[in-house]
Chain A
């Protein structure tokens, strides 16, 4: 029984790994004093501002906080709407 449970379970990440990932994510927000909600607001406003000037792929926008020993960075990854695809079509 135990063996079966384990065999079934090992496909999923272990709860230890889930705990670690969740902690790492929540601590990025705690340490930077930027809540996930605030990040969403920032993302929406960034999209709004940039969309005024250029066309972007709104669904593909990612705004995250990256953390290393020296500094925290706010990283905005904003795909342009008419990137490689447009060139390929023409």
Chain B
């Protein structure tokens, strides 16, 4: 198999798996790679709307498996990036419609003439997750800097290792630098210390993600989006470039500096 097959998963739902899949896919395609973004969340299809390709779907992965169309017919080519494709999930079926062997077979076939296959996993640790994991040779875990997401990420990291798909790489998504500075959010260093995995990227909380999802125009396409830049950096790291991690330390304002002075004195007393 020529392509790198990367499963993007998280355990907990709502941490940004689909957003990450779409944006990393876009960012890799921007660097000239031939990419398939595969929606493995059968029955809860969303990668299509995040990529803005929902109106072009005719067939889906279940149609391919059940012989109603050829693999090529189900693939949707992105108009903005000619080397980016979507393989849509079925919306009307459930996880049992796609088995691990099915996905492995599809990835082998797609792998022949693509560089990357990014699999957007279902949330949870059940059948949907296991199916999405089966064809992969690399795994990206997406988490948020909060206790429930990190705990679930730890569980999934263990399952990925048990399935001999590790070591997984971590994307810390929706980091709020101001909350971290205030001491009210786990920092990336805390998350890494707890989970003991390699970091692939840090994506700040960014309203442009909501706006870009509203429009079906991934933020990675936006030159000025902070989150978009983070996803482009993640793609560069996947391609082996040594890109320093973003720090997002805002220059402290007068009030912040005063506060810090006061807290420092308080601590000494």
The size of the chain B interface, using a CB distance under 8 A, is 24
- Whether a CB of chain B sits under 8 angstroms from the CB of A27 is yes
Main secondary structure of the interface of B (DSSP, over half): helix
> CB-CB < 8 A to A51: which residues of B?
none
Report whether B259 and A3 are in contact in the complex, using a CB–CB cutoff of 8 Å: yes
User: B187 to A16, Cβ gap below 8 A?
Assistant: yes
Contact with B along A1-21 (1 / 0, CB 8 A): 011001100110011110110
Instruction: Give the chain B neighbours of A24 by CB distance below 8 A.
Output: 194
- Binary per-residue interface labels of chain A (57-78) against chain B in the complex, 1 for a CB within 8 Å, 0 otherwise: 0000000000000000000000
Instruction: From A3, A11, A15, A23, name the one whose CB has the most chain B CB atoms within 10 angstroms.
Output: A23
- Residue B263 CB within 8 A of the other chain: yes
Q: Is A17 within 8 A of B194, CB to CB?
A: no
Bound form: Cα–Cα A6–B261 in Å: 12
Given A23-B150, A27-B154, A30-B155, A14 and B184 touching (CB < 8 A)? Answer: yes
Q: Does A53 have its Cβ within 8 Å of any Cβ on chain B?
A: no
A17 and B155 alpha carbons, distance in the complex (Å): 21
Contact surface of B with A, Cβ cutoff 8 Å: 146-147, 150-151, 154-155, 158, 180, 182-187, 190, 193-194, 255, 258-259, 262-263, 266-267
Q: Other CB < 8 Å A-B pairs besides A16-B180, A23-B150, A26-B147, 6 of them?
A: A7-B263, A16-B184, A20-B190, A23-B151, A27-B151, A27-B154
